[in-house]
Amino acid sequence: MIAHSIEHALRSRVVTRVIVSTDDEEIAAIARQYGAETPFLRPSEFAGDLSPDIDVFRHCLGWLQDHERYRPDLVVHLRPTHPVRRINDIDAMIQILLDQPHLDSVRSVVLSPETPYKMWFMDGDHRLAPVMASVEFEEPYNMPRQILPQTYLQAASIDVIRARVITSLNSMTGSNVYGYLIDEIFDIDTTDDLARAAAKLDDDSNKKASEDLAQ
């Protein structure tokens, strides 16, 4: 899984360093095998199942500053649970942040498969409260889906953040976030997700082989 994200970063025309943060020496060795740097092992307090991204990135940037006097301008977050992504999207998202200094980050998104305007919270007594409030519509949950505003789901495939947003604002996005629309999400949570991603990778590999033969 991690090899795909490392490969994507190495194939980028703009990314200058590829660093893997892990608390596991075996994973670190695999990362190095595929061309990434592992200058440190992540402390265990930042390596739990519920550890937030901000702690991981603050540790990484702090370590690089303290030990190498290295401070990147931008950070590209490629999660290893997303083995399918386009290299052109990585480079395009980086370029957007380079070209628009007022932006804090660029986040990959997809069209929401369902509208949150028709979603509810339910308390212990089974009483419902709408997830989305709207000043435009009095009761959006009772309206036709087709006339409700389009919403977007964060893909968590590619995120590009200014390093100062992480270190100074203690945020993985900041307040001025650009949405970059991608076609699909290949996030691995289940064996079905894994099979779908594997099929997509096989299909892409076969297409590339055919194109190479045609040339």
- In this prediction, residue 43 carries a pLDDT of 95
Pairing of strands 152-162, 128-130: unpaired
The alpha helices in the chain, defined as continuous H runs, are: 2-11, 25-33, 53-68, 87-99, 163-169, 191-214
Which pLDDT does position 121 carry in this prediction?
96
Can you tell me the distance from the alpha carbon of 59 to that of 45, in angstroms, rounded to the nearest whole number?
11
Q: Are 30 and 80 in a shared domain?
A: yes
pLDDT at 55 (0 to 100)? 97
pLDDT at residue number 76: 98
* Same domain (yes/no): 35, 135: no
Q: Measured between alpha carbons, how far is 133 from 131 in angstroms, rounded to an integer?
A: 7
What is the pLDDT tens value at each position of the chain, 215 positions in all? 899 999 999 999 999 999 999 999 999 999 999 999 999 999 999 998 889 999 999 999 999 999 999 999 999 999 999 989 999 999 999 999 999 999 999 999 999 999 999 999 999 999 999 998 777 888 999 999 999 999 999 999 999 999 999 999 999 999 999 999 999 888 788 888 778 878 877 776 656 545 555 55
The Cα–Cα gap between 194 and 187 comes to 8
> Is the same domain home to 65 and 137?
no
Pairing between strand 152-162 and 74-77? antiparallel
The answer to whether residue 42 is domain-embedded is: yes
Between the CA of residue 27 and those of 38, 50, 55, 196, what are the distances in Å? 10, 19, 19, 24
Give first-to-last CA distance, the chain, whole Å. 30
Quick one: pLDDT at residue 136? 82
Q: Is residue 130 domain-shared with residue 54, that is, in the same domain? A: no
Position 195 in a domain:
no
Q: Are residues 76 and 182 in the same domain?
A: yes
Q: Are residues 53 and 88 in the same domain?
A: yes
Which tens digits make up the pLDDT trace of 119-161? Answer: 999 999 999 999 987 778 889 999 999 999 999 999 999 999 9
pTM for the model stands at 0.87
Going by their DSSP bridges, the two strands 74-77 and 105-111 should be labelled as: unpaired
List, in sequence order, every beta strand (DSSP E) within the chain: 74-77, 105-111, 120-122, 128-130, 152-162, 177-181
Query: Residue 10 domain-assigned?
Result: yes
- pLDDT for residue 209: 47
Q: Are residues 78 and 99 in the same domain?
A: yes
Kindly state whether residue 168 falls inside one of the protein's structural domains: yes
Structure confidence at residue 190 (pLDDT): 83
Q: In this structure, are 119 and 105 located in the same domain? A: no
- For residue 169, give the amino acid letter: L
Domain limits at 134? 115-141
Question: Do 119 and 33 sit in the same domain of this protein?
Answer: no
